[in-house]
Amino acid sequence: MRILLVNDDGIYARGLSALVRGLKDLGEIYVAAPDRERSATGHSITVHRPLRVRKVSLSDFGVAASWAVDGTPSDCVKLAVEDLLPNPPEIVLSGINQGPNLGTDVLYSGTVSAAVEGLISGFPAVAVSLASFTDRDFSKAGEFARTLVTILEKSDFPQNFLLNVNVPAGAEPKGVKITRLGNRRYINIFEKRVDPHGRTYYWMAGDLLEMEENQEGTDVGAVKSNYISITPLHLDLTDYPTIDNLNNNGFLENFKTIITGGSKT
């Protein structure tokens, strides 16, 4: 099996090393990761400057080849698939992220976005996160990633899929749940400061709001109850019920004045 690994915490992050250790004997392992911290970059790509790549030695971990990219996680996947790898990967794994990627956080996450880029490129993809910003023990998440990839390799899954995995930190997880995305909302706080030149700047922070809907069935509820959550994601963001509503409630009639030059008849 040919596996491409990427992350958003940087090529020397502990989570990525744990993922390599967990998967290294499952096949050929290739790593293309940012050369520095790129968390919360979402699905941004680099288009206004050149990308620079340097080969990095991770041979001690049994990696076939590895590269540090001065771009985003999505850049890493694009470059690896289009140029760096000698042959296309069979699966793309992103992580292990330091911190959870639950609910609507997936829209901001560089970890999940790298996996999304893998899916866009036509490959099955998995994003793996350790649901803690302070716990540095990635071993359980690495072991679970190995188990998951082994199961996926033997199972009759569609060719393209994306799974978002969150592993609780601390105590042994109670089990695994297949979940839907929950809702993560924050009270955003911008701390206003002034630099030595008298120019105003801001630091963004925020407090997480507890949402009542994050109960049974959501990834947020599962991790809170000490379960590993696996949430299947897809690329289609279309709101299909609203398509029907717009087509059936006379909404389009309002645009006839534009088409007919001011007359509805």
Q: pLDDT per residue over 177-190, tens digit each?
A: 999 998 877 666 78
- Banded pLDDT at 249 (limits 50, 70, 90): confident
**Percent of the chain surpassing pLDDT 70:** 91
Q: How many domains does the chain have?
A: 1
Residue 191 included in any domain:
no
CATH at 104: 3.40.1210.10
Residue 51 included in any domain:
yes
- Banded pLDDT at 28 (limits 50, 70, 90): very high
Residue 153 included in any domain:
yes
- Banded pLDDT at 202 (limits 50, 70, 90): confident
Give the per-residue pLDDT at 208. 61
Q: How distant, in Å, are the alpha carbons of 111, 152, 249 from that of 4? A: 13, 15, 48
pLDDT at 3 over 80: yes
**Single-letter amino acid code for the residue at 147:** T
Q: Are 67 and 80 in contact (CB under 8 A)?
A: yes
Residue 259 included in any domain:
no
Which residues form the domain of 142? 2-184+213-238
Among 59-68, 133-142, 210-219, 235-244, which is the least confidently predicted range? 210-219
Residue 26 included in any domain:
yes
Instruction: Measure the CA–CA gap between 189 and 142, rounded to whole angstroms.
Output: 34
- HEC profile of the chain: CEEEEECCCCCCCHHHHHHHHHHHHHCEEEEEEECCCCCCCCCCCCCCCCCCEEECCCHHHCCCEEEEECCCHHHHHHHHHHHHCCCCCCEEEEEEEECCCCHHHHHCCHHHHHHHHHHHCCCCEEEEEECCCCCCCCHHHHHHHHHHHHHHHHCCCCCCCEEEEEECCCCCCCCEEECECCCCEEEEEEEEEECCCCCEEEEEEEEEECCCCCCCCEHHHHHHCCCEEEEEECCCCCCHHHHHHHHHCCHHHHHHHHHCCCCCC
Residue 75 included in any domain:
yes
Residue 243 included in any domain:
no
Residue 128 included in any domain:
yes
